[in-house]
């Protein structure tokens, strides 16, 4: 066994900090709006090329039209050596290489056409359509090993009768009943698109699939219905014989499942899954026998979370593992025994891909979003045994930014439990008496924040640090990356100890001279929004300002309006509302609005199906009527769901969040006048200047 630590990533972070110090400029919401990051990553079979996408949003701060995330395809052959392969108006998805490596493939819907599979030669040339299914979008695809066949997962065929009824005005929708399963086809690759692909029968509702390296077997992720709740609680992996279409084995894991990969010889699967039905998240790595479906855990009980895995050509298994706020690369032998482990230093590895002699990663760090890195194993011992080499460099303007110090921070909760999180200090250091501090609470709670890039439209991060705030991201009870037992500690105990951990973080940070206890705020989305609502009501005396996003305010009505009732029961409440109505009411922020003295900004997507917008309306109305002197504002985002997707909505959110904290948290004045209903947009944004009719 070997454990090797590398200094390369730490050195990279040090260089970034040095550059920032020489070109001091605080980060702004306008900077956040133009961030780019690496999305999909695929490696050619010989390992010589790496295809990747660059994900970005329209820069609405400079007047670009509003829209969602788009991607650009590039192929890299060495560090900082890459070529863009498609016109800018093509936003590719699901990037891969053909089995012979001569073509990079992707999904795309041309103009008004259905999404199809396209390919473009790696040596240059025009893109061509390889496969499509009439009147259906391709959701996923994989090649046979010889490249002669492409398997396509699509939606159901169009219901022509239903379409005719809609045109006639008969557009009623039956809730949770009108399901139509996905379909799997085998299309022949030739000089023209196969117009008559063979359909393969599928069990249940399939959401993903993969093909074995010999082309004889497929694995499919299937659930009884396409409901989100079933995808969490009932999804299983099925092994299918591609010749007969028969299901030869079912992997009867009892809990949630995530990444599944087929070993090179087809005898095993790697599977990241929950250990039981009450496991909050799939974080345990398993090996599965494809012949029988039997499985065994490789890291059961460890205080960590497996987040991605990939089989290497030699039959070993590479896994990205998060341990608390850091990450590592672990390699297992084919029999599941430990082989070696590598620490990437300041990098947070999130995904791994492998082909040929190449192992590539998507990774971020405290001073940059996700980039492409390649691991060079090297030879010898110590640091010379390998290094994580950066191959892409987006957002070069980040060299102008002055970053606050960012590090792991641990403290002891009131009941003795050690809790960890990520601390970002104000640029220039902490002033005497402590800094105004924002508690940025992640959702889930079955998730965790790593000591990597922590700035986004809903995460104050380095924007706040540049304005004099400290930011703390607590991995409170219920979080992953600390073991299943830690993530189960919140179950059946909504709010305590999980949200008490956040107050204990404030106490510890104040005792260390980092936080001004009188100027501590809280924000977060989803379950983090629940924490923010709890902080503005039950713990109102602790928080000077709160920004709540798509959060929970009433656990009783939330159960009746969410799309995950069984998941809620299995991994959160462990009880039904009717088991004890009063108990469920007492863990609802609306119950404590008599205490609500914290200025509260509430924001929510109007189309949210996870946490219904009525959750925000309830809390707003209770505070507005019961505490008319408390500043409270409710902002709805039309067309947005459980999180903002569009560029303008994201930019608007970031502006409002920082404006609210500047008004109430930085000043410590809970009675300050509310800021203007519309934030000040960047000068180049559409609508930044008042129309002539409104001019004085």
**β partners of residue 545:** 521
Residue 244 and residue 165: Cα distance in Å, rounded?
38
How much is the pLDDT for 110? 87
Mean pLDDT across 602-622: 97
Q: Are 14 and 393 in contact (CB under 8 A)?
A: no
How much is the pLDDT for 688? 86
How much is the pLDDT for 22? 53
Does residue 249 register a pLDDT over 50? yes
Does residue 93 register a pLDDT over 90? yes
Mean pLDDT across 297-305: 97
Mean pLDDT across 237-260: 94
Closest C-alpha among 284, 330, 350 to residue 40:
350
Helix (H, G, I), strand (E, B) or coil at 665: helix
pLDDT bucket at 694, cuts 50 / 70 / 90? very low
| Cβ neighbours around 13 below 10 Å, total | 18
Closest C-alpha among 273, 277, 159, 279 to residue 221:
273
What's the half-sphere exposure (Cβ side, CA atoms, 13 Å) at 258?
19
Q: Tell me 151's DSSP state.
A: E
| Minimum mean pLDDT range among 205-209, 515-519, 621-625 | 205-209
pLDDT bucket at 579, cuts 50 / 70 / 90? very high
How much is the pLDDT for 158? 85
Closest C-alpha among 486, 500, 485 to residue 531:
500
How much is the pLDDT for 3? 35
Closest C-alpha among 524, 139, 113 to residue 536:
524
Does residue 548 register a pLDDT over 90? yes
Residue 131 and residue 138: Cα distance in Å, rounded?
9
Strands 435-441 vs 470-475: parallel, antiparallel or unpaired: parallel
> Going edge to edge, which strands form the sheet with 149-154?
138-143, 149-154, 183-188, 198-200
Sign of CA dihedral 208, 213, 216, 217: negative
Q: Are 660 and 547 in contact (CB under 8 A)?
A: yes
Percent of the chain scoring above 70 in pLDDT:
94
How much is the pLDDT for 111? 84
Does residue 251 register a pLDDT over 80? yes
Please write the tens of the pLDDT for every residue from 479-535. 999 999 999 999 999 999 999 999 999 999 999 999 999 999 999 999 999 999 999
Does residue 11 register a pLDDT over 80? no
Q: What would you measure as the largest C-alpha separation in the chain, in angstroms?
A: 77
How much is the pLDDT for 23? 55
Threshold 0.85, pTM exceeds: yes
Does residue 5 register a pLDDT over 70? no
Distance set, CA 604 to CA 322, 612, 623, 626, 643 (Å): 31, 9, 17, 21, 8
Does residue 196 register a pLDDT over 90? yes
Cβ-proximal residues to 211 (8 Å cutoff; 6+ apart), any chain: 142, 143, 144, 145, 151, 217, 218, 242, 262
Cβ-proximal residues to 402 (8 Å cutoff; 6+ apart), any chain: 20, 21, 23, 24, 25, 26, 427, 428, 466
Please write the tens of the pLDDT for every residue from 336-384. 999 999 999 999 999 999 999 999 999 999 999 999 999 998 633 343 3
| Minimum mean pLDDT range among 172-181, 573-582, 588-597 | 172-181
Give the gyration radius of the chain's Cα atoms: 26
Closest C-alpha among 323, 338, 298, 317 to residue 1:
338
Residue 109 and residue 141: Cα distance in Å, rounded?
14
Strands 236-241 vs 217-223: parallel, antiparallel or unpaired: antiparallel
| Cβ neighbours around 668 below 10 Å, total | 14
Does residue 304 register a pLDDT over 70? yes
Please write the tens of the pLDDT for every residue from 233-245. 999 999 999 988 8
Percent helix, strand, coil in the chain, to 5, is: 20, 35, 45
């Amino acid at each position: 066994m070997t454990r090797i630590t590398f200094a390369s990533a730490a050195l990279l972070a040090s260089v970034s900090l040095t550059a920032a110090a020489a070109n001091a400029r605080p980060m702004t919401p306008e900077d956040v709006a133009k961030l780019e990051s690496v999305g999909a990553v695929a490696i050619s079979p010989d390992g010589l090329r790496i295809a990747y996408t660059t994900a970005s949003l329209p820069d609405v701060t400079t007047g670009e039209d509003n829209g969602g995330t788009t991607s650009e395809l590039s192929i890299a052959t060495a560090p900082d050596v890459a070529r863009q392969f498609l016109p800018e108006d093509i936003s590719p998805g699901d990037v891969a290489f053909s089995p012979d490596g001569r073509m990079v493939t992707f999904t795309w819907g041309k103009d008004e056409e259905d999404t199809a599979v396209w390919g473009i030669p790696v040596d240059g040339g025009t893109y061509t359509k390889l496969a499509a299914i009439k009147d259906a979008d391709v959701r996923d695809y994989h090649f046979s090993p010889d490249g002669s066949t492409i398997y396509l997962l699509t939606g159901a065929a169009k219901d022509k009768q239903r379409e005719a009824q809609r045109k006639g005005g008969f557009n009623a929708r039956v809730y949770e009943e009108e399901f139509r399963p996905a379909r799997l086809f085998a299309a022949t690759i030739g000089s023209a698109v196969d117009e008559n692909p063979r359909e393969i029968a599928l069990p249940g509702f399939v959401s993903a699939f993969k093909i074995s390296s010999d082309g004889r077997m497929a694995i499919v992720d299937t659930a009884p219905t396409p409901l989100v709740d079933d995808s969490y609680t009932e999804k299983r992996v099925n092994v299918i014989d591609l010749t007969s279409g028969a299901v030869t084995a079912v992997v009867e894991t009892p809990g949630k499942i995530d990444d599944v990969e087929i070993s090179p010889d087809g005898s095993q699967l790697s599977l990241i899954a929950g250990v039981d039905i009450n496991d909050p998240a799939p974080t345990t790595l398993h090996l599965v026998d494809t012949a029988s479906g039997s499985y065994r855990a490789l890291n059961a009980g460890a205080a960590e979370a497996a987040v991605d895995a990939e089989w290497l050509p030699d039959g070993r298994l590479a896994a990205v593992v998060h341990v608390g706020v850091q990450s590592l690369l672990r390699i297992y032998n084919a029999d599941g025994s430990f082989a070696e482990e590598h620490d990437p230093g300041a990098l947070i590895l999130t995904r791994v891909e492998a082909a040929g002699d190449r192992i590539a990663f998507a990774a971020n760090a405290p001073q940059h979003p996700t980039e492409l890195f390649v691991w060079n194993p090297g030879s010898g011992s110590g640091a010379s045994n390998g290094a994580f080499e950066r191959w892409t460099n987006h957002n070069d303007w980040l060299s102008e930014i002055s970053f606050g110090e960012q590090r792991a921070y641990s403290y002891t909760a009131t009941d003795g439990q050690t809790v960890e999180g990520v601390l970002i200090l104000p640029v220039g250091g902490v002033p005497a008496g402590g800094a105004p501090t924002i508690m940025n609470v992640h959702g889930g709670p079955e998730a965790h924040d790593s000591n990597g890039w922590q700035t986004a439209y809903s995460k104050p991060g380095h924007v706040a640090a540049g304005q004099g705030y400290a930011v703390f991201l607590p991995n409170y009870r219920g979080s992953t990356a600390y073991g299943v037992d830690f993530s189960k500690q919140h179950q059946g105990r909504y709010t305590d100890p999980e949200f008490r951990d956040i107050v204990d973080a404030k106490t510890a940070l104040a005792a260390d001279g980092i936080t001004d206890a009188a100027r501590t705020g809280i924000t977060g989305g989803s379950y983090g929004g629940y924490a923010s609502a709890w902080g503005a009501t039950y713990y109102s005396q602790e928080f000077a300002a709160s920004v709540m996003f798509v959060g929970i305010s009433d656990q009783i009505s939330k159960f009746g309006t969410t799309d995950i009732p069984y998941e809620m029961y299995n991994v959160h409440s462990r009880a039904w509302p009717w088991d004890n109505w009063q108990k469920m009411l007492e863990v609802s922020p609306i119950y404590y609005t008599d205490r609500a003295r914290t200025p509260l900004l509430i924001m929510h997507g109007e189309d949210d199906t996870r946490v219904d917008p009525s959750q925000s309306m309830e809390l707003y109305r209770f505070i507005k009527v019961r505490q008319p002197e408390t500043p409270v504002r409710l902002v709805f985002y039309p067309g947005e769901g459980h999180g903002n997707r569009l560029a303008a909505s994201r930019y608007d959110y970031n502006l409002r969040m920082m404006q609210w904290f500047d008004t109430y948290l930085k000043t410590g004045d809970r009675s300050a006048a509310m800021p203007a209903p519309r934030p000040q947009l960047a000068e180049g944004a559409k609508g930044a200047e008042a129309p002539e009719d409104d001019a004085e």
